[in-house]
Structure 1
Amino acid sequence: MIVLTPTARFALRANHINRRAAAERRQFEPDPTPVIKFFNPLGAQTWLATELADDDDAVWGLADLGFGCPEVGPWSLSELSSIRLPFGMSIEIDQNFSSGVPISVWAAWSRRTG
């Protein structure tokens, strides 16, 4: 099971609340920086999370599964947690990840590099 730190959970929830507030006011949606990087330690899959929905399961961000077509959108934290890899491994959180650029820049870069 993937466990989010209270600080990460707070930042993800704040981004979700800010995006919903902007949508309600009919303003441009914010372009937040990724808060958490999930990755497959045995493969090319990477997920950059920017938001966590009210249900504490739906995460929004960039999903790059290594097939050359990264997507920005939602995914399930519980489904990510249920992925079992060889050697008893699972999807991990990059403890050293930090980002100073918004998710749109990450998405554009990922699409260019394939």
Structure 2
Amino acid sequence: MTFLTEQQRTQMLANGAARARGEALDPLPVVKLYTLDAGLVWLLTELDADGDRAYGLCDAGTGFPELGDVSLAALEAVRGPQGQPIAADPHFRPRQTLSAYAAEALRDGQISD
């Protein structure tokens, strides 16, 4: 997928494989995706072996962010209200684990990082 660098893809596949083996993990987000012209944000940690289904914290801008799966192929088709595509944030540096981001986002009603 065009959102991920090769290094991010490798890390997310490794995290996905660990979860598939039943390992308990709470990794740092690997990539932050966002809309350029709307308030949608995804902090993703894992990628299934199919290379499409990612797992992470998803904020659809409704005030109710949630942990779940998302198709990267489907995200590539999404456009904001001004026709802008989703982009990866090249400056994103995770400061905490996914569960900590999720706790903050549930408390605040949005991903604030």
Aligned residue for 1:19? Answer: 19
Aligned residue for 2:53? Answer: 58
1:99 to 85, 88, 94: 94
1:86 deviates by: 4.6
More helix by share: 1
1:53 deviates by: 0.5
Q: Gaps (5+ residues) in structure 1?
A: none
1:98 deviates by: 1.1
- What TM-score comes out, normalization by structure 1 length? 0.88
1:35 deviates by: 0.2
1:2 deviates by: 2.9
1:9 deviates by: 0.4
Q: Secondary structure at the match of 1:99?
A: coil
Give the whole-Å Cα distance in 2 for the aligned partners of 1:112 and 1:81. 29
Letter in 2 for 1:32: P
Q: Gaps (5+ residues) in structure 2?
A: none
Please state if 1:44 is matched with 2:39: yes
Q: Number of residue pairs matched?
A: 109
1:88 deviates by: 4.2
- What TM-score comes out, normalization by structure 2 length? 0.89
Say if 1:65 and 1:88 are closer, same or farther in 2 by CA, change over 3 A: closer
1:76 to 65, 71, 78: 71
Aligned residue for 1:32? Answer: 27
Task: State the superposition RMSD in angstroms.
Answer: 1.4
Percent identical: 38
